[in-house]
Amino acid sequence: MDGTPELARIRSLLKDLPGEAGNGGQMYAWVDPGDADSMPEHVWGLIAGAMRSCCPGLIPAGAGVSDAVHKPPLAEVDEAAATELLSWLLSTGLVYADQGKYARSRARDLSTALARLLGSGTHWWTNTSAPGSGWYPATHHTFDALVVGVSDGVIVTILVWDED
C-alpha cells in the first residue's frame, strides 16, 4: 500500500489528529510501512521518540526504548472494538470527558473511514480493555491509550496521553 492513493488518503484523514489533547496532553498519529511481525518494536520506537521530544525531563538522557516506554501487552481486538475505542479517544479526554478533539459523530466518521481505508483484513491492537476502563500504561504519563492497525504493509499508530 506504500505510495498508493490509499496510503495518501490515510495520511490525509489523520493529518489533523496530532496536537494538544485533553488536559494538556498530546495526541500522535503515525502512518508507516510495516507488518504485524515488526509492529511491536516499531510502535515502541515511535512512542519513545515522542516521549523524548515532548517531555525531555521525563525520560533520562541517553535512555533506551525500554526506559522511555513501558511496553505493555497489546490485546488484539476486532474492527468494531478498535473503531469504538478510536471514536471514544477522539471525542473524549482521558481525564475530563468534555475535552475531546472532535464531536462524537465526527470522531465516529473518522474512525469508520480509517477502518474502511485499511480494509477488512486489518489486525488491530490496543493497550486498553474498553473505552474509559482499565489499561496497561505505554508511557510515563498518568493516562495513555494506544490503538494500532496493521494492514497490507501499513502500520497506523494512534497514541494519546494526558495528565490529571
C-alpha cell at 40: 511491536
100-148 pLDDT tens trace: 788 899 999 999 999 999 999 999 999 887 665 677 777 777 788 889 9
Q: Return the pLDDT at 84.
A: 93
Provide the pLDDT confidence category of residue 67 given band limits of 50, 70 and 90.
Answer: low
Q: Return the pLDDT at 132.
A: 59
Range of the domain at 12: 5-162
The continuous run of DSSP H or E covering 54 comes out as helix 39-54
Domain count, the chain: 1
pTM: 0.86
Mean residue pLDDT across the chain: 82
Q: Return the pLDDT at 12.
A: 92
Task: Average the pLDDT over 66-88 and give the result.
Answer: 84
Q: Return the pLDDT at 57.
A: 65
The continuous run of DSSP H or E covering 75 comes out as strand 75-77
Q: Which has the higher per-residue pLDDT, 4 or 108?
A: 108
Residue carrying C-alpha cell 485533553: 22
pLDDT at 2 over 70: no
For residue 105, the domain's CATH number is 3.40.1460
pLDDT at 95 over 90: no
> Could you write out the three-class secondary structure of 14-27?
HCCCCEEECCCEEE
Specify burial of residue 21 (Cβ count, 10 A radius: 0-12, 13-18, 19+). Answer: buried
